[in-house]
Amino acid sequence: MKKILSIFISLLVALACFAQKSGKPEDLLNFKPTTRVYVNDYTGTLTEDQRQSIDTKLRIFDDSTSTQVVVVVINSLEGNDVADFNVQLGRAWGIGGKEFNNGVVLLIAKKDRKLNIATGYGVEGALPDITCKQIIDDIIVPKFKGDDYYRGIEEGTDAIIQAVKGEYKAPEGYHKGRSTGGSVLRTVFIIIVILIFLAMSGRGGGGGSFMSRRGYTAWTIGNILSNMGRSGGGGGGGWSGGGSSGGFGGGSFGGGGASGSW
């Protein structure tokens, strides 16, 4: 019996090691980290010295702030959406503390030339979608375009740390050349929709139904305005709940963040 149990445990360990080394999306979602590795390179892009350098920096940041920033480099998403998969990965690995949900995942799909920053609920205020997009567009992508992956990850994680600490400032002129017409039109459209809702809420029915409709309208407007806060190219769908944390803290992710490509 002991021999059978020993063989079974060995098989489980072997399967876990295979999943960790393969870097395939499905395997990664089923893999539960038993130790905290902050830089997970499944492509051999980074040298071991480079990986260790960034890993040590992120480990020190976790020890001093409890905020867990994790880097994952894979070859291909195999058809998965980069934002949705990153949210699933952050949740599956339980990155961030269970109480504070303060995890961040920088996912890089090298062959697909796509990347995403996913943020846990607890860091969305310090690291909003627009800041994630700025870090991707102005810091990481230019380095990746020059095949300097180490510098892109190094400086990108530096910017994430600065943002969480409240020290990050967007590069001067970030919005130059970026059209704001779409945002203005969306705002005008939302205002018109709100006015129509309010006008319809005031028609017909008794006082009770009027108040009910007004309550529903306010709830709807609140949801619309809340969703407007998400930037284009932002995070994926809403995943919640901690689950088994493995080596990390059991944090949750709700879809905040941003995506990019190079």
Question: Which DSSP state fits 231?
Answer: P
Asked if the structure places residue 14 within a domain, the reply is: no
Question: Which DSSP state fits 234?
Answer: B
Asked if the structure places residue 51 within a domain, the reply is: yes
pLDDT higher than 90, residue 218? no
**Alpha-carbon distance 24 to 145, whole Å?**
24
List, for residues 5-41, the tens digit of each pLDDT value: 444 433 333 344 444 456 899 999 988 888 899 999 9
Residue 67 Cα distances to 80, 97, 105, angstroms: 27, 7, 11
Q: Average pLDDT over the chain, rounded to whole?
A: 77
CATH of residue 63's domain is 3.10.310.50
In which domain, by residue range, is 50 found?
Answer: 22-125+249-256
Asked if the structure places residue 160 within a domain, the reply is: no
